[in-house]
Amino acid sequence: MAKQSLPTTNFDYEFGGPVGAFATMCSLPVVIVLLILWADLGYISFDFDELEAVFVSLGGTDLSSYKLSVCILFSWVAGCVLLTALLPCTIHSGVQISPTGGGKKFSLKYLLNGHLQFWTTLLALFLGCSLNFSRKLLADCTQTASTTSSYLSYFTASASSCASPNQTQNYFYAVSFGSPFPLLSLLHGLLLPLSIVTVVFSAFVSVLLYVKSFSKGAVLAPGGDSGNLVYDLFIGRELNPRLVKDPETSKSKHNYVFNNLAHFDLKEFFELKPGLIAWVVLNLAMLSAQHSNLGYTSGSMILLNLNQALYVWDALYNEISILTTMDITTDGFGFMLMFGDLAWVPFTYSIQGYYLVKHDPMLSLPSLALIACLNVLGYKIFRGANTQKDVFRRNPTSEACKDWNYIDTKRGTKLLTSGWWGVARKVNYTGDWLMGLSWCLTCGFGSVVPYFYAIYFAILLVHRSIRDDHFCAVKYGDDWGRYKEKVPYRFVPLIF
Ligand code: NDP
List, for residues 385-394, the tens digit of each pLDDT value. Answer: 999 998 888 8
Mean pLDDT over the full length of the chain: 86
β-strand partners of 242: 265
Sign of CA dihedral 382, 388, 389, 391: positive
492 vs 25, residue with greater confidence? 25
Separation CA 87–CA 257 (nearest Å): 9
Contact 184, 129 (CB under 8 A): yes
Which of 325, 221, 305, 303 is CA-nearest to residue 3?
221
What percentage of residues in the chain have a pLDDT greater than 90? 63
Confidence at residue 249, expressed as pLDDT on a 0 to 100 scale? 58
What percentage of residues in the chain have a pLDDT greater than 70? 85
130 vs 89, residue with greater confidence? 89
pLDDT band at 150 (very low <50, low <70, confident <90, very high): very low
pLDDT (average), residues 85-92:
90
Separation CA 192–CA 356 (nearest Å): 16
Q: How far is the CA of 395 from the centre of ligand 1 (A)?
A: 17
Confidence at residue 440, expressed as pLDDT on a 0 to 100 scale? 98
Confidence at residue 378, expressed as pLDDT on a 0 to 100 scale? 97
Whether residue 151 has pLDDT greater than 60: no
Whether residue 159 has pLDDT greater than 80: no
327 vs 195, residue with greater confidence? 195
Whether residue 156 has pLDDT greater than 80: no
pLDDT band at 106 (very low <50, low <70, confident <90, very high): confident
pLDDT (average), residues 196-219:
95
Q: Give nearest CA residue, ligand 1 atom 22.
A: 415
Q: How far is the CA of 358 from the centre of ligand 1 (A)?
A: 37
pLDDT band at 161 (very low <50, low <70, confident <90, very high): very low
Which of 410, 418, 422, 431 is CA-nearest to residue 477?
410
pLDDT band at 181 (very low <50, low <70, confident <90, very high): low
pLDDT band at 134 (very low <50, low <70, confident <90, very high): low
Q: How far is the CA of 450 from the centre of ligand 1 (A)?
A: 26
pLDDT band at 254 (very low <50, low <70, confident <90, very high): low
Confidence at residue 168, expressed as pLDDT on a 0 to 100 scale? 43
Whether residue 448 has pLDDT greater than 50: yes
Answer yes or no: is the C-beta of 471 below 6 A from any ligand 1 atom: yes
Confidence at residue 129, expressed as pLDDT on a 0 to 100 scale? 77
pLDDT (average), residues 189-203:
97
Q: How far is the CA of 464 from the centre of ligand 1 (A)?
A: 9
Confidence at residue 179, expressed as pLDDT on a 0 to 100 scale? 54
Answer yes or no: is the C-beta of 472 below 6 A from any ligand 1 atom: yes
Whether residue 97 has pLDDT greater than 80: no
pLDDT band at 135 (very low <50, low <70, confident <90, very high): low
Confidence at residue 4, expressed as pLDDT on a 0 to 100 scale? 42
Tell me the pLDDT tens digit for each residue of 27-58.
999 999 999 999 999 999 999 999 999 999 99
Q: How far is the CA of 117 from the centre of ligand 1 (A)?
A: 24
Pocket test for ligand 1, best of 325, 407, 408, 490 (most atoms within 8 A of CB): 325
**Of the given ranges (106-110, 227-231, 366-370), which has the lowest mean pLDDT?**
106-110
Q: How far is the CA of 341 from the centre of ligand 1 (A)?
A: 17
pLDDT band at 102 (very low <50, low <70, confident <90, very high): low
User: Which ligand 1 atom sits nearest the alpha carbon of residue 385?
Assistant: 32
